[in-house]
Amino acid sequence: MDDAWIEEPLRPQRWGRPARPAGTVFAAVHGAYHVLSRRLVLEVRDHGLAPSEAVVLEHLRLEPDVTISVIRQRSGLRASTLDSLLDRLQARGLVGRVGRRTERGEVTLALSARGRELAGVAHAALIEIDAELGICAARPTLAGAHVIFEASRALGVPGTAADY
């Protein structure tokens, strides 16, 4: 494993070498997900958002009037998980399912005014976390997170739809 990222001059001193190596890429990504989720909770909990809700609102902020399947692909959430999450956001008046757009009859999603406001809160929190990560890791390392996500999607999940 390349430990060059540990030597970066802007790296906060309180963070040192992990107590033990993560072992696999999966273990490292899984651990990062949990640590970053806890960090995001601190940023958005006063606004009544869970981390997954904040991420979905960010996706909707980036691309208004998008279909559920696109959000599922971009977020990595299971269809049933995303449906439950969207139900909660819709019940709170943050998201609306606004009709049919595609030949397949996919529903388009749109943010309400309050949803756009909270999407802005989510965006600010995510940008702040990204900036803090930028202090600890080089830009190519951070870009690697997107590569890992796309590679993971390419693996697929045996026994499920190809566009999981």
**Model pLDDT for residues 18-73, shown as the tens digit of each residue:** 566 668 888 888 989 999 999 999 999 999 999 999 999 999 999 988 889 899 98
Separation CA 86–CA 66 (nearest Å): 13
Q: How confident is the model at residue 5 (pLDDT cuts 50, 70, 90)?
A: very low
Tell me the pTM: 0.79
Spatial CB neighbours of 144, under 8 Å, sequence gap ≥ 6: none
Residue 154's pLDDT is 85
The Cα-based distances of 115 to 43, 101, 160 in angstroms read 17, 21, 31
All domains in the chain, ordered by first residue? 25-155 (1.10.10.10)
The pLDDT value recorded for residue 107 is 83
pLDDT tens sequence across 104-120 = 678 889 999 999 999 99
How does the average pLDDT of the chain come out, rounded? 83
CA distance 72 to 80: 10
Each residue's pLDDT tens digit, 149-162: 888 888 877 666 54
Q: How far is CA 88 from CA 46, 55, 81, 82, 84, in A?
A: 17, 14, 11, 10, 6
Element (H, E) at 69: helix 68-75
- pLDDT above 90 as % of the chain: 46
Q: Which two tokens stand for residue 80?
A: 């049933």
Q: Which pLDDT band, with edges at 50, 70 and 90, does 96 fall under? A: very high
Q: Which residue has the higher pLDDT, 17 or 129?
A: 129
Pairing status of strand 107-111 against strand 95-100? antiparallel
